[in-house]
Amino acid sequence: MSTFDLVVYILFLIFVAKLQFVSCRGSFSSDPSNQQQLDKVLDLPGQSFNVSFASYSGYVTTNKESGRALFYWFFESVVDPSSKPLVLWLNGGPGCSSVAFGLAEEIGPFHIEKDGKSLYLNPYSWNEVANILFLDSPVGVGFSYSNTSSDLLSNGDERTAAENLEFLLQWFDRFPQYKENDFYITGESYAGHYVPQLSQAIVRHNHNTGEKVINLKGFMVGNALTDDFHDHLGRFEFMWSVGLISDQTFKRLNIVCDFESFIHSSELCEKVQDIAEEEMGDIDLYSIYTPPCKANFSRPNHPQSGKRKFGILRIAYDPCTEEHSTVYFNLPEVQRALHVQDKSPSFKWETCSDLVSDNWKDSPRSVLKVYRELLRSGLRIWIFSGDTDAVIPVASTRYSIDSLKLPTVGPWRAWYDDGQVGGWTQEYDGLTFVTVRGAGHEVALHKPKQALTLFKSFLSGNSMPKLDLFSDS
């Protein structure tokens, strides 16, 4: 054999070996249980500490024809994940990332330092007591994407619910060890639509298949967009009652915006809200008693609910966490560690997408009809509200709950955390309402300890804690 023939033969063998490797890897990836291992996060940049739990991140394709794929990040419970419930967290917008808010600012185990490169542990993470699954939904949000660009211009409530259901069905195939665990859905803000709509889709899917394909036990939403009329009514009343707006603007808001859509409001309603914005000055409507972030950081023009221009803030610590998240999740090494779909040169990550929000299609004026259906299904349903939020304030949520006309089974009372009033609660037939004192729109951001107490009570199905009286004897 000549030298030339030998070289050709060797190259042929290398080519065949590569084909076999690609073939093996492809079949390995297509196996759901094997894909689970491929999704495992092995080396997270900025993590200088050890943890006792595993996390997984990656994509689930929800529509092969269009190439729509949703990004998730899953954290096992700190202790005995096999016996703990599985909880899905959804943020709203529409167009805001659950990784940006729920995970990195609120209930996730890892939060981001000021340098935008380092992580620290959240001592009040909800994975202390449950397995937590964060989902960026719909496509165009966070790391979720579509190969069909027009998909980002056609998102809406109906398709989001259907694809979130498809995501879950495939995710449970990839993680079959959690199929029998109690499953709950939680979220906040515009997830006041997503959470009950997805719950409804699951209940109907289980009914249509004749079996409990997904072991849904209940859902909980916070500062949730629920009913446009009641949400506007309570919002304007709250802003006026705490002295944020004038009598005249309060009256004009009620006249012009009372029956308007939160997502598709009229130009006239927007103009009156602009007047209200000027009267309120440079404050954060999501947490009216805390200072805003003064960093040179421009946030996309929507707040998880509605279309106002106010930033997300913190109490007691750094108010600019959103800026730090933007730095961290745009680091190429972070995206590689999280198995983000290859982009060139890298995936541009945003906390919220104006493209998704501005082009949102169907958004029903109310989801109270969904509540009425689900209240008959036996699910555990809780609604909570931070009482310093002026976007979807306590008053809005109380108006919506009152309209359901549910019998009261536990009267209005204070609940306690470490001997201090944590908020107030009332129990209805089929629904529990809880307020969190001093918390803004993102309850777990401002009151993380109290939020964990709330979460534990929800999972256990117990009433919120009462004051424990101790004697010296």
Give the integer Cα–Cα distance in Å for 437 and 184. Answer: 24
Tokens at residue 148, please? 């069909």
Do both 273 and 355 map to the same domain?
A: yes
Radius of gyration of the chain (CA): 24
Q: Is residue 188 part of a domain?
A: yes
In sequence order, the 6+-apart residues with CB closer than 8 A to the CB of 290 are 284, 313, 314, 315, 319, 388, 440, 446
Read off the pLDDT band of 472 (50, 70, 90): very low
Q: Based on the domain organization, do 149 and 10 belong to the same domain?
A: no
CATH number for the domain including 100? Answer: 3.40.50.1820
Q: Is pLDDT at 384 greater than 80 in this prediction? A: yes
Dihedral sign from CA coordinates of 433, 436, 439, 442: negative
Query: What is the pLDDT, as a whole number, of residue 320?
Result: 83
Partners of residue 131 on adjacent β-strands: 86
pLDDT of residue 281: 95
Would 258 be classed as within a structural domain?
yes
pLDDT of residue 187: 98
User: In terms of domains, do 296 and 433 share one?
Assistant: yes
Q: Are residues 35 and 10 in the same domain?
A: no
Contact 81, 23 (CB under 8 A): no
Q: What is the mean pLDDT of residues 274-287?
A: 94
Residues 355 and 367 in one domain: yes
- Identify whether 405 is part of a domain: yes
Other Cβ atoms within 10 Å of 176 Cβ, number: 11
Q: Are strands 68-75 and 145-146 parallel, antiparallel or unpaired?
A: antiparallel
* Same domain as 413, residue 369: yes
Confidence of residue 125 (pLDDT cuts 50, 70, 90): very high
Contacts of 175 (CB under 8 A, 6+ apart): 36, 56, 74
Quickly list H helices, 329-422.
Answer: 332-337, 354-358, 368-374, 394-403
Among 189, 305, 353, 363, which one carries the catalytic annotation? 189
DSSP tag of 153 = G
pLDDT tens digits along 228-266: 999 999 999 999 999 999 999 999 999 999 888 988 889
Contact 70, 98 (CB under 8 A): no
- Could you tell me which residues are beta bridge partners of residue 185? 88, 219
Chain-centre distance for alpha carbon 466: 29
What average pLDDT does the segment 110-125 reach? 95
- Tokens, residue 68: 């729509």
Nearest CA to 196 out of 448, 42, 375 is that of 375
Return the closest-CA partner of residue 401 out of 375, 431, 364. 431
* Tens digit of each residue's pLDDT (9 = 90 or more) over 212-222: 899 999 999 99
Nearest Cα neighbor of 132 from 46, 50, 53, 200 is 53
pLDDT at 65 over 50: yes
Distances, alpha carbon 92 to alpha carbons 227, 255, 321, 410, in Å: 15, 27, 18, 30
The answer as to whether 139 is a domain residue is yes
pLDDT surpasses 50 at 366: yes
The residue annotated as part of the active site, out of 111, 230, 441, 446, is: 441
Q: What are phi and psi of 395, to 5 degrees?
A: -60, -40
CA distance 61 to 335: 18
* 58 and 25 belong to one structural domain: no
Number of domains in the chain: 2
Least confident piece of the model among 18-32, 76-90, 395-409: 18-32
Task: Decide if 441 is catalytic.
Answer: yes
Residues in a beta bridge with 67: none
In the chain, % of residues over pLDDT 90: 80
pTM surpassing 0.95?
A: no
Residues near 31 by Cβ (< 8 Å), separated by ≥ 6? none
**Catalytic site includes residue 396:** no
- In this structure, the answer to whether residues 400 and 428 fall within a common structural domain is yes
Q: Is residue 472 part of a domain?
A: no
Q: Do the domain assignments include residue 261?
A: yes
**CA-wise closest residue to 197 among 376, 366, 395, 405:** 366
Contact call for residues 331 and 46 (beta carbons, < 8 A): no
What pLDDT score was predicted for residue 346? 57
Residue 312 has pLDDT above 70, yes or no: no
- The DSSP result for 229-269, as a single string, is HHHHHHHHHHHHHTTSS-HHHHHHHHHHSTT--SSS--HHH
In a domain, 253, yes or no: yes
Indicate if 23 and 118 belong to the same structural domain.
no
Residue 38, domain extent: 31-467
Q: Which of 136, 231, 389, 417 is catalytic?
A: 389
Q: In this structure, what token pair is assigned to residue 300? A: 């996309």
Q: Which residue has the tokens 């935008």?
A: 116
Rounded CA separation 107/120 (Å): 13
Instruction: Give the pLDDT score at 259.
Output: 87
Which helix (H) or strand (E) covers residue 7, if one does?
helix 3-30
How far apart are alpha carbons 141 and 106 in whole angstroms?
18
Shared domain for 16 and 76, answered yes or no, is no
Residues 129 and 21 in one domain: no
In degrees, to the nearest 5, what angle opens at C-alpha 283 toward C-alphas 281 and 289? 130
pLDDT at 291: 85
Nearest to 415 by CA among 427, 431, 401: 427
389 catalytic residue (yes or no): yes
- 154 shares a domain with 7: no
Inside any domain, residue 473: no
pLDDT in tens, 288-308: 999 888 754 444 434 443 333
